[in-house]
């Protein structure tokens, strides 16, 4: 099949967003619009490509992708276009699609502006609209005024995007912002509690706007206190139970306030993604129960819930962990009492992917070991980037490895609280070889093989490159397998079916890299991996002592991938771990 039809997830999302905008302008059925919104949200969270799902006849595994959209995707990947998509967009000015995403400009506003100013080209639509705003022409339109004209001009000049279009925050950054707000809010004398909701509470790799739920008997007092937060730049909404603001860093924050007796319903309502909430509402409706942010209406009475456990219990389900509320099969599993017992941070006994000053790290071997010991780990693996034979020469590299071995042996002899292991992170080169020869790899306790260069190789070559590394008898772990950098670099294009088969056939371990910019494998691939019986490990890729704390973000990914303790080799005690990486016996 020609490569022209293998659309990336990013390209596919753009296509679907334009179709969605056209639907909104033309007044399509609400439920069809909601279905496309759900599908777009699901695709945005994927690590593996929709093309791969389609190629392997697994589109039905993507939450929100139903039979209709599957048919359209089949046509898109087969022919390069979709006739129905073209029909839906027909008659609309092309320029409107360049405007959507600017703050204060939704689909319908974009259409009005594009039609009024004859914005028929995508290339110059924004510049023409800017000129219209600067000349006071927008305020003359019906439904617009001086204020909205100024908002549009500011959005263009400052490149301010709507919350659905601007780059999503890394989980760690969203967490930092939310923690600052929550710390401030806890000074409010009328506040009982406050918790993040939405994608932050589900621990997604990226977060859009921040949603917070507060509990208080005096909702107005809490709202007023929130609106005095010093980082607020603009107040979008001020109500008696809700406020929405934009911070100085352009992050939108929505705060909802509930009474204590209804807090559980509020938290539940705001935590699951759209697909989870739709499926849960459908499940409840079959019992004659109607769910809302205020409680559950049943037999003419609204039942309120102070916590989520009692909310779920009322519809006959155990509490579904926040990370699993993804609209997959979590409700069916809950019905059957087969929800996984998710791995926790406390289950982790060690970290095998850390760096020191011997390569590009900041701290010494002793400092990294001491930090790991303070965490309470049983073992720590030092996996610096392998020294280059090309630049240093073979003999010098041998000396470096022997010197590192002696330092680690001395460290192990000097103390017994933590076992230090010697590994290297070895580059998988573009020619399918490894950056160190086998006779040097076998001197190590374990080897992490990773792609660090030539990310744009075609699918066939990249797949062969990774598979060859997994076939090497001295490779233990495939490091940050997709090679993605969130918001910076897309995942490598590989055939994951072949990669997973090679890992399984050769008894290799796949890494869940906890670095906040990587979080790689993504949870969709983690779930595929555990279904196939592959071994996983959560590592931090720490380049300094503080980086060891990234473990919690890797565990977040593992939990979203339905991982239990048994799926991760670094939940094992030392003697069992050594057997897994071929050291003990």
Looking at the domain assignment, is residue 263 inside a domain?
A: no
Residue 57: its pLDDT value, please?
A: 87
User: Which pairing describes strands 206-207 and 169-170: parallel, antiparallel, or unpaired?
Assistant: antiparallel
Q: Are residues 463 and 391 in the same domain?
A: yes
Looking at the domain assignment, is residue 264 inside a domain?
A: no
Looking at the domain assignment, is residue 331 inside a domain?
A: yes
CA distance 438 to 474: 7
Looking at the domain assignment, is residue 162 inside a domain?
A: no
What is the CATH classification number for the domain harbouring 130?
1.10.150
Burial category of 537 from C-beta neighbours within 10 Å (exposed 0-12, middle 13-18, buried 19 and up): buried
Looking at the domain assignment, is residue 163 inside a domain?
A: no
Residue 369: its pLDDT value, please?
A: 97
Q: Are residues 78 and 149 in the same domain?
A: no
Q: Are residues 18 and 60 in the same domain?
A: yes
Q: Are residues 143 and 191 in the same domain?
A: no
* H or E element at residue 110: helix 107-116
Quote the domain boundaries for residue 114. 96-157
At 427 the three-state DSSP class reads strand
Q: Are residues 326 and 351 in the same domain?
A: no
Looking at the domain assignment, is residue 501 inside a domain?
A: yes
Q: Are residues 377 and 485 in the same domain?
A: yes
Q: Are residues 304 and 442 in the same domain?
A: no
Return the sign of the alpha-carbon dihedral for residues 271, 273, 276, 278.
Answer: positive
What is the CATH classification number for the domain harbouring 284?
3.30.210.10
Looking at the domain assignment, is residue 340 inside a domain?
A: no
Looking at the domain assignment, is residue 585 inside a domain?
A: no
Per-residue pLDDT for the chain (585 aa), expressed as one digit of tens each? Answer: 444 578 888 899 999 999 999 999 999 988 888 888 888 888 887 777 898 889 888 888 887 788 889 999 999 999 999 999 999 999 999 999 998 878 778 899 999 999 999 999 999 999 999 999 999 999 999 889 888 888 888 888 866 555 455 678 999 999 999 999 999 999 999 999 999 999 999 999 999 899 999 999 999 999 999 999 999 999 999 999 999 999 999 899 999 999 999 999 999 999 999 889 989 999 999 999 999 999 999 999 999 999 999 999 999 999 999 999 998 899 999 999 999 999 999 999 999 999 999 999 999 999 999 999 999 999 999 999 999 998 899 999 999 999 999 999 999 999 999 999 999 999 999 999 999 999 999 999 999 999 999 998 999 999 999 999 999 999 999 999 999 999 899 899 999 999 999 999 999 999 999 999 999 999 999 999 999 999 999 999 999 999 999 999 999 999 999 999 999 999 999 999 999 997 432
Domain's final residue, options 335, 354, 382: 335
Number of domains in the chain: 5
Question: How many Cβ atoms from other residues are within 10 Å of residue 212's Cβ?
Answer: 23
Residue 166: its pLDDT value, please?
A: 61
Q: Are residues 413 and 534 in the same domain?
A: yes
Contact 410, 369 (CB under 8 A): no
Domain's final residue, options 311, 335, 359: 335
Domain's final residue, options 89, 106, 131: 89
Q: Are residues 273 and 306 in the same domain?
A: yes
Q: Which of 102, 116, 121 is nearest to 144 (CA)?
A: 116
Residue 159: its pLDDT value, please?
A: 63
DSSP string, 144-210: --HHHHHHHHHHHHTT-B-TTTSPPEEHHHHHHHHHHHHHHHTT-TT--EEEE-HHHHTT-SEE-SE
Q: Are residues 302 and 224 in the same domain?
A: no
Q: Are residues 386 and 482 in the same domain?
A: yes
Q: Are residues 152 and 174 in the same domain?
A: no
């Amino acid at each position: 099949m020609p490569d022209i039809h293998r659309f990336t997830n990013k390209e596919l999302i753009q296509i679907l967003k334009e179709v969605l905008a056209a639907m909104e302008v033309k007044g399509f059925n609400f439920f069809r619009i909601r279905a496309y919104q759900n599908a777009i949200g699901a695709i945005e969270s994927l690590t593996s490509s929709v093309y791969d799902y389609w190629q392997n006849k697994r589109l039905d595994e993507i939450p929100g992708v139903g039979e209709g959209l599957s048919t359209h995707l089949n046509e898109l990947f087969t022919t390069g276009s979709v006739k129905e998509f073209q029909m839906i967009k027909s008659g609309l000015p092309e320029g409107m699609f360049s405007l959507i995403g600017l703050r204060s400009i939704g689909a319908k506003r974009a259409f009005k502006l594009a039609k009024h100013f004859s914005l028929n080209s995508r290339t110059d639509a924004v510049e023409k609209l800017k000129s219209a705003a600067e000349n006071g022409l927008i305020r003359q339109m019906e439904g617009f005024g001086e204020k909205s004209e100024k908002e549009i001009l500011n959005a263009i000049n400052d490149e301010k995007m709507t919350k659905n279009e601007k780059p999503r925050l890394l989980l760690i950054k969203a967490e930092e912002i939310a923690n600052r707000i929550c710390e401030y809010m806890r000074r409010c004398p009328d506040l009982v509690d406050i918790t993040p909701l939405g994608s932050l509470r589900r621990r997604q790799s990226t977060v859009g706007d921040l949603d917070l739920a507060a509990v208080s008997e005096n909702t107005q007092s809490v709202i007023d206190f929130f609106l005095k937060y010093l980082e607020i730049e603009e107040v979008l909404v001020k109500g008696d139970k809700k406020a929405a603001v934009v911070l100085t860093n352009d992050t939108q924050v929505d705060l909802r306030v509930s009474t204590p007796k209804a807090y559980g319903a509020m938290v539940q309502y705001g935590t699951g993604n759209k697909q989870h909430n739709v499926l849960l509402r459908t499940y409840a409706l079959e019992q004659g129960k109607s769910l809302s942010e205020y409680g559950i209406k049943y037999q003419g009475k609204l039942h309120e819930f102070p916590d989520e456990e009692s909310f779920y219990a009322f519809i006959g389900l155990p509490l579904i962990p926040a990370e699993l509320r993804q609209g997959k099969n979590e409700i069916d599993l809950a019905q059957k009492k087969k929800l996984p017992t998710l791995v926790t941070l406390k289950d982790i006994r060690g970290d095998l992917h850390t760096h020191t000053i011997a390569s590009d790290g900041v701290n010494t071997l002793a400092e990294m070991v001491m930090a790991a010991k303070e965490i309470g780990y049983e073992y720590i693996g030092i996996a610096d980037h392998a020294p280059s034979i090309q630049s240093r020469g073979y003999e010098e590299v041998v000396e470096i490895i022997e010197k590192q071995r002696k330092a680690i042996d001395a460290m192990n002899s000097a103390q017994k609280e933590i076992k230090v292991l010697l590994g290297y992170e070895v580059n998988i080169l573009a020619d399918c070889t490894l950056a160190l020869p086998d006779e040097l790899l076998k001197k190590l306790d374990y080897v992490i093989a990773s792609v660090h260069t030539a990310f744009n190789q075609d699918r066939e070559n990249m797949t062969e490159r990774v598979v060859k590394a997994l076939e090497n008898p001295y490779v233990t772990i495939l490091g940050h397998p997709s090679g993605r950098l969130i918001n910076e670099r897309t995942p490598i294009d590989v055939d994951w079916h072949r990669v997973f088969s090679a890992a399984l056939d050769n008894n290799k371990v796949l890494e869940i890299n906890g670095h906040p910019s990587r979080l790689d494998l993504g949870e969709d691939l983690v779930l595929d991996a555990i279904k196939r019986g592959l071994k996983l490990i959560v590592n931090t890729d720490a380049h300094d002592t503080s980086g060891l704390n990234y473990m919690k973000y890797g565990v977040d990914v593992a939990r979203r991938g339905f991982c239990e303790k048994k799926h991760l080799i670094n939940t094992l005690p030392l003697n069992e771990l050594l057997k897994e990486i071929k050291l003990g016996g």
